[in-house]
Amino acid sequence: MNNLNEYLGGRIFNTTELNDEQIELLLSIGGKKINAIENNVCQRCLMMVKNNSKLIYCRSCINLGRISERDQLIISPAEALFSDRSPSLQWSGELTIMQKKASEELIMAYNTGVNHLVWAVTGAGKTEMTYPLIERIISDGKRVAFCSPRVDVCIELFPRIQAAFPQVSIGLFHGKSEETYSLTQIMISTVHQLIKFDKAFDVLIIDEVDSYPLAGNEMLEKAIYKAKRPTGNLVFLSATPPKRLIKDVENKKITISKLYQRFHTYPLPQPKCHMLFKSSDYFRINPRIKLKIKKLIENNERFMLFFPKIPAMLKFSESLKIIFPELSFVDVSSKDEQRLDKVSQFRKKEIQAILTTTILERGVTFKNITVIVIDADAKEFSKTALIQIAGRAGRAKESYDDEVHFYYQSYNRQVKQACSEIKYLNRQASK
């Protein structure tokens, strides 16, 4: 086996994925062989297996390949020796005083092995805040995984972290990736990939911990704890943390850093609210929205349009083509296989506008854009989603005052709460 690194690092394999020689080698260097299903619990994803068919198999993690009661798993050794690369951080930026404080708190949590939550407003520079911690982990010869529930976020994170730590081995892994896994000191991956690991990482940084599909997904939550080494710790990052973690903070089970300020110290753009008296697709496109789009096109300004549902977006997209044939734009959703390419087209400024569902509500950063939410009162837009979407604007120092517009027919609870929470966060930041 000349590509041994592809198998190492606390990975879980079904023996059917390996040949005899590979199994023998992995066992000889400290790998473990276990039954795939033990006491009705799947040993890969730790979910209960329902005993309702002749051959018992795990339905929960079946997307990663079926494992049944007849199967055995091999867990490859998690120990790894990384050569000393200190000082490893090659980032030329500078942390603000607030970011620095949070980054010191992260190192403190790492030293004491306590799990830590960073509650930072959108655009606070969460990723950069973790650099001193990652540097420390590297210099200690330890291993870190930086994970997000969303593929798009992982793809955006990878080049940034690679540029900050150019001499450190780093891998990007997700379901859509064609790159094969290899043991690296830094792994960027979707949370889903963690199901395939056992006690593998000294530190796991989980970005956007409140977002789909992680929020409320028992299997993924278990995967995070399972992939961590017993001596390691977890770092959760979020602009809108789930109640469960806030409770853990209140009960002193985990520690917290709070950041109300964006990295460029300017406030979050306060959404401008527009009540529509007719639906957003009235006359194909509601005249007030149409006027706004017309102005954006005339001024050659780039913009994002958010929709609650795919059909509404596609209908709007058709109308847009008819009314503004000169506008170059794409539409993306979770079901769109070309999503990553289209987002990259928008990022490279090859097109002026992007129509999207909540799939791009977080994790993506564009400079100099106007953000518009169509039907902000729809049930698909929770308070959290609206805050995240508004947070797409004003992320760059040179365009800190990008505009955010909410269009709706009823000024309901979620719109009201999102607007007042943004106001509150800005007030806290200016104190």
List of residues contacting Zn ion (CB under 5 A): 42, 44-45, 58, 60-61
> CB-wise, 191 or 418, nearer to Zn ion?
191
3-state secondary structure 279-295: CCCCCCCCHHHHHHHHH
Radius of gyration of the chain (CA): 23
Around 119, how many Cα atoms within 13 Å sit in the side-chain half-sphere? 14
> CB-wise, 58 or 75, nearer to Zn ion?
58
Residue 298: alpha-carbon gap to chain centroid: 34
The minimum distance between CB 191 and Zn ion, in angstroms, equals 15
The minimum distance between CB 49 and Zn ion, in angstroms, equals 7
Which of 367-379 are b and which e, b meaning 16 or more Cβ less than 10 Å from the residue's Cβ?
eebbbbbbbbbbe
> CB-wise, 60 or 280, nearer to Zn ion?
60
Q: Are 87 and 135 in contact (CB under 8 A)?
A: yes
The minimum distance between CB 76 and Zn ion, in angstroms, equals 18
How many Cβ atoms from other residues are within 10 Å of residue 19's Cβ?
10
SS3 39: coil
The minimum distance between CB 146 and Zn ion, in angstroms, equals 24
> CB-wise, 68 or 139, nearer to Zn ion?
68
Strand partners for 331 = 355
The minimum distance between CB 352 and Zn ion, in angstroms, equals 45
Q: Are 232 and 93 in contact (CB under 8 A)?
A: no
The minimum distance between CB 148 and Zn ion, in angstroms, equals 22
Closest CA to 135 of 200, 194, 90, 78: 90
The minimum distance between CB 200 and Zn ion, in angstroms, equals 17
Q: Are 338 and 351 in contact (CB under 8 A)?
A: no
> CB-wise, 37 or 239, nearer to Zn ion?
37
Distance CA 164, CA 364 (A): 18
> CB-wise, 65 or 166, nearer to Zn ion?
65
SS3 213: coil
SS3 72: strand
> CB-wise, 71 or 210, nearer to Zn ion?
71
